Structure 1
Amino acid sequence: MKDLENASLRVALLEDDAVLRERILSPRLRDHGFDVIGLGSAAALERLLLAGVPDIIVLDVGLPDADGFDLAQSLRSRFPAVGVVMLTGRESPHDKVRGLVDGADAYLTKPVELGLLAATLHSLARRLQAVMATDAFASPPGWRLAGGGWRLMAPCGQAVLLTRSERPLVRCLIQHAGQVVGRDALIATLTSNTFEFDTHRLDSLIHRLRRKVAAASAHPFPLSAVHGAGYVFAP
Structure 2
Amino acid sequence: MNARVLIVEDDPLLADGVAQVLRDAGFVTDYVGTAEQAEASLAAEAFDLLVLDIGLPGMDGLELLRRLRARSSAIHVLMLTARDALNERVRGLNAGADDYLTKPFAAVELLARVNALARRSRGQRGARREFGPLILDEEAYRAWLDGEPLTLPGREWAVLLFLLDNQGRVMSKERIAAAVCRWDQDMSENAVEVYISRLRAKLEPAGIRIRTVRGLGYMLENLRDEPKPA
Q: TM-score range with shorter-chain normalisation?
A: 0.5 to 0.7
Uncovered stretches (5+) of structure 1, i.e. residues with no partner: 1-6, 137-235
Query: Does structure 1 residue 75 correspond to structure 2 residue 64?
Result: no
* Gapped regions of structure 2 (runs ≥ 5): 130-230
Structure with greater contact order relative to length (CA < 8 Å, sep ≥ 6): 2
Residue 33 (structure 2) pairs with residue 40 (structure 1): yes
Shift of 1:50: 2.7
Match of 2:77 among 65, 79, 84: 84
Match of 2:6 among 9, 12, 29: 12
**CA root-mean-square deviation:** 2.0
Deviation, structure 1 residue 49: 1.8
Number of residue-to-residue matches in the alignment: 129
Q: Which residue of 1 aligns with 2:184?
A: none
Q: Distance in 2 between matches of 1:40 and 1:133?
A: 31
Any idea what SS the aligned residue of 1:111 has? coil
- CA 1:55–1:108: 2 relative to 1, 3 Å: same
* 1:201 matched residue in structure 2: none
More deviation, 81-90/42-51: 42-51
Q: Counterparts of 2:96 and 2:47 in 1: how far apart (Å)? A: 16
Percent identity reads: 41
Task: Assess, with a 3 A threshold, how the Cα gap between structure 1 residues 45 and 129 changes in structure 2: closer, same or farther.
Answer: same
Match of 1:103 in 2: 96
C-alpha separation in 1, matches of 2:127 and 2:29: 26
Distance 1:134 1:76, change over 3 A: farther
Bigger Cα displacement from structure 2, 127-136 vs 93-102: 127-136
TM-score by length of 2: 0.52
Task: Report the Cα offset of residue 135 of structure 1.
Answer: 10
